[in-house]
Amino acid sequence: MNLRDLRYLVALAEHKHFGRAAEASFVSQPTLSTQIRKLEEELGVALVERTPRKVLLTEVGQEIAARARDVLNEVDQIKAIARRTVDPESGTLRLGIFPTLGPYLLPHVIPRIRERFPRLELLLTEEKTEVVLRLLREGRLDAGILALPIHDPQLHSRFLFEEPFVLAVPDDSPLATRSALRLDDLADQSVLLLEDGHCLRDQALEVCQLAGAGEKAGFRATSLETLRQMVAAHVGITLLPVLAVKPPVPQAAHVRLVQFRKPAPSRKIAMVWRKSSALGGFIQSLADLFAELPADLLDPGAGAAAPDRT
């Protein structure tokens, strides 16, 4: 048994297809298939159920693949310890971030990361929160930027900042004339929301419940940009996180952004990583950069994006 064969098994467990697993492992399909059979012979058990259309791992194959993933993660940690000892600010860091934050936060932080850690290779993965958490647990990501709360005893979280929400309304809405809103101003309003799986949907629903508002029936968006365009088309109103309305993001035409009176509804953002990670010290340093956003970026009343006239 060797690490290479364990990597083949883990790839097969992830892709459930010999061809795709071989491609992901940078070997030919016959090579991967042969090594899996050799591993089965060495262990004396069947790891894989081979059918004409798909590949399924046996029950024992699934258990061994899960343990193999843990072994490979530990090996990666050993390599990371050695690499960081030689050069603490070099190497690769795999960072996950959710879609309603990544495109709006990263342009403000990536240039500072490049300046502070010029030898760092930052590999970014944009996925919904549950996927980022799963990839973290599996060791396929080193850290994630997520919204609190996170309930997982295996993970450490470091608070970064609190991001307020603003209300996006059509420019002919009675709410568009308001300089600031109270939550109860949303009572009986129907709010456009994202589809299931987005943490922003849950956060917006919580605000709606506090305000006595409801979800607009028959519509669920796949992205913040869809929500923004639906408001511009006078379909309804929605909540947007403040980073999503700051430059370089242009404001959609015919959309008015109205801030809330303090304390405004908001979400808390944190850096999250495994407590067992050998990169914990470095991730803390990286988190410091994310936490040092200019104050006006998180101020709904400062420097909002200009309307897009195109």
CA distance 2 to 154: 28
Distance CA 281, CA 278 (A): 8
- CA 33, 34, 39, 40 torsion: positive or negative? positive
Instruction: Please say whether the beta carbons of 183 and 243 come within 8 A.
Output: no
Residue whose C-alpha is closest to residue 48's, from 61, 35, 39: 61
The bridge status of strand 190-192 relative to strand 214-215 is: parallel
Q: Are 194 and 241 in contact (CB under 8 A)?
A: no
How far apart are alpha carbons 56 and 246 in whole angstroms? 47
pTM of full prediction above 0.85 = no
- For residues 109 and 122, give the distance between their C-alpha atoms in angstroms, rounded to a whole number: 12
Pair 307, 253: CB distance under 8 Å:
yes
Q: What is the pLDDT of residue 147?
A: 94
| Structural element, H or E, at residue 137 | helix 129-137
Q: Kindly state the percentage of the chain with pLDDT values over 70.
A: 96
Q: What are phi and psi of 169, to 5 degrees?
A: -130, 155
Residue 310 Cα distances to 170, 248, 252, 253, 307, angstroms: 17, 15, 9, 8, 9
Q: What are phi and psi of 138, to 5 degrees?
A: -80, -5
- Regions of the chain with pLDDT less than 50: 306, 309-310
Cα separations in angstroms, 210 against 155, 169, 206, 219, 294: 30, 19, 6, 21, 30
Q: What is the pLDDT of residue 306?
A: 47
Contacts for 193 with CB less than 8 Å, ≥ 6 apart: 201, 204, 205, 215, 216, 220, 221, 227, 238
Kindly state the helix (H) or strand (E) to which residue 38 belongs, with its residue range.
Answer: helix 29-43
